[in-house]
Structures are given as structure tokens and as C-alpha cells.
Amino acid sequence: MDAIGQPTPAVTFYTAVPGCRTPMRADPAALGTLPARGFQYCEALRAASSFGWYVFPPIDFTLQWDGSEVIWTYRGAKAWYPLTSAQVPGYQAEFNKVAPSRLHGFSPPFLSVGLEPGLIQVWSGLMIESAENWSVLVRPPANLPRSLAFDLYEGIVETDRWFGPLFTNIRLIKTDAPIHFSTEIPLVQVQPLHRRVYAEEVSNNFRLVAHPSEFSAEAWSRYEQTIVKPNLEPHRPVAAYAASLRRR
């Protein structure tokens, strides 16, 4: 059924690297990092934090960049290795055991260096597909503290038409210092988007009220209801907006 409320899953994850951590529903408390007051009273923070799923690296690994070349290592490795393209250790043989013979040798790389300085593509160890007319937004985890050593790019993938590895692109920032990635910390947050939500006609069609003198009576009335009246009520309930949403 092609509808936003369809009963079948909008997104299906496939574990391609045996033993890699499974996706996890994103947490409204951002894994306990939100301030207690924000978690309890700010529904906007909770909603953004819990939208979608956390996806983790398939293994613990570390990168180091000198501004030109990248080296890498992983838990259990005996050395650092120059990075151009690398598999999850031992994965090529695992892939060839289960993939059709015509696909042998075509396992996805775990890490790949891009043409731009410091650009690295990282595979999650998962494949992904979505229901018809659904896509996924792959983005940094919402409201989790971010590393100052790298940036994450965001991308929308039409995974109903494209079946393949769920990966992300990172841009290394810090040089000459190890940058560690852990299976305990989400690498990205994956959020389902119906295609009509980000269609060009939606983004191109908006209205601007250019001056407060042009606000309608209805707009002023809504401002009064949401902002003014609650602040004039001496015994107003705390977080009325959040409470009203949670009762829906």
C-alpha cells in the first residue's frame, strides 16, 4: 500500500557483515546526553532525537590523517596500514561463501579514500532497501555531541530504487592525531522520508509574510494562545505543549 501510514516496514536493513551491530531505534534522550530539563519538557528535542534509527560502525577502527595521506588500524590489528580502499578484515572470504559465484570478489569496501583531501567513505556493514516511494536521509545523529575531529555529510538515498550498501561520507578535520570510531557510538542516524516530502514542488512552494504589519488576525491570535496567555497564567502547567502532543 503506497501511503505514509502503510503497515509494512518503510525501511529494511540487511546485515551483510556477520556480527556487526544491528540498527537501534533512535533515543529521545540522545543516549542520555540531553539535559534532564530538555528531555522532560522540550518535545521538539525529543521528537528530533528519536526520529529514525542509529547505525553503528561494523568494527572499532581508527584513522589518522597528515593532511595528505591516511593510515588506519582496527581492534586486534598489529600495525597501522596505508589507506586507499580496505575491506572489513576477513570479510572477502565470508562474502564469497554466501554470495552467488558470479558476485565473488565484489564485496563492498569498508573504507575508501575519496579524491578530495580527507574525504573517507565508511560502510556500516549493512545493506538497505525501502518500500515504494520511500527514501532515507543519512545524517549525523541528532542532538548527540559531535567530534571536532571530523564532519559527516548528509545524503538522501532513494533506496526503493537503489539496493546496496548503507554508507556515509566523512571529512577528516584534525591532522596528526588518531580519530577513533567505536561500535558503541552511533555513526549516523537513518531517517525515513516519503518522496513527496522533499519533492521540488514542496520546497519551491512557500509563502513569506514580509512584515509584522501584514500578520493576519488569525496569526496574532495563535501567537497569543501559544506565547502570551501561558506566560500570564501564574499557575500554568509546565511543558503544556509537550504534554498535549504526548496525549495525541
Residue 182 has pLDDT above 90, yes or no: yes
* pLDDT score, position 12: 97
pLDDT at 235 over 90: no
Residue 55 to residue 137: CA distance in whole angstroms: 12
pLDDT in tens, 93-121: 999 999 999 999 999 999 999 999 999 99
Residue 183 in this model has a pLDDT that exceeds 90: yes
Distance CA 80, CA 110 (A): 16
Partnered with residue 181 across adjacent β-strands are: 61
C-alpha cell at 214: 501584514
Q: What percent of the chain has pLDDT over 90?
A: 84
User: Parallel, antiparallel, or unpaired for β 81-82 and 70-74?
Assistant: antiparallel
As a whole number, mean pLDDT of residues 78-88 equals 97
d(CA 153, CA 171): 8
CA 180 to chain centroid: 18
pLDDT tens-digit readout, 142-176: 999 999 999 999 999 999 999 999 999 999 999 99
CB 191 within 8 A of CB 139: yes
